[in-house]
Every structure is written in structure tokens, then in C-alpha cells.
Amino acid sequence: MIRGLPIILNDYIAGQEVGNVPYVVENGCGKFSKSPKEIANIVGQWFGPKAHELKAMSQNALRLARPDSVFKIVQDLHELVKQRSLTTQYSAST
């Protein structure tokens, strides 16, 4: 999304990724299909008669992008490691 590229999802991992499909489709930044033929058709349409759809999805992807997310994840992981280290130190000293 941070590159402004629409997404074509063709599957998801049950549980952790199940929400990705409706998020992408409902926010207009991509499509979902399990059919290779349909995916090829979507791409063909985007670079042909539905170029306007590609542009709109690209704009939607940029609007939803969170370029700093990776840094937030690293910060959160760092905090968890620090908390765990403190817990381990406290447990070992008692």
C-alpha cells in the first residue's frame, strides 16, 4: 500500500489473515479471486479499459498506507523484550 499499488489477493491463511480480504476489497485498494483466469482478466482490464479503476485503487492504497507501521512494530517488540527481561530478572532475584 505504501507504494500505491493495488493488491490482488488469491488466498489467505485462516485465522490471522482472514480479515485482509474484506479490508482490501471494502476499502477499494484491491481485488480477491482464487481463479487464475479471473486474476489475469483483472490485470488485463486494469491496463486496458479499466485503467481508471487501477488509478482509483492506487489512490485508495496510498490513503490507507501506514509507512511507519514497521517502526511501530519494532518499538512494540522492543518494549515486550524489555518487559520480559525485567520480569525474568525480578523472578530470578526473588
pLDDT tens-digit map of 15-74: 888 899 999 999 999 999 999 999 999 999 999 999 999 999 999 999 999 989 889 999
- pLDDT on residue 36: 97
- pLDDT on residue 83: 87
Taking the CB of residue 4, how many other CB atoms lie within 10 A of it?
15
- pLDDT on residue 93: 60
- pLDDT on residue 86: 66
Kindly list the distances between the CA atom of residue 68 and the CA atoms of 6, 45, 72, in Å, as whole numbers in the listed order: 19, 32, 6
> Has this prediction a pTM greater than 0.75?
no
Inform me whether the pLDDT recorded for 91 exceeds 90. no
Distance CA 66, CA 30 (A): 16
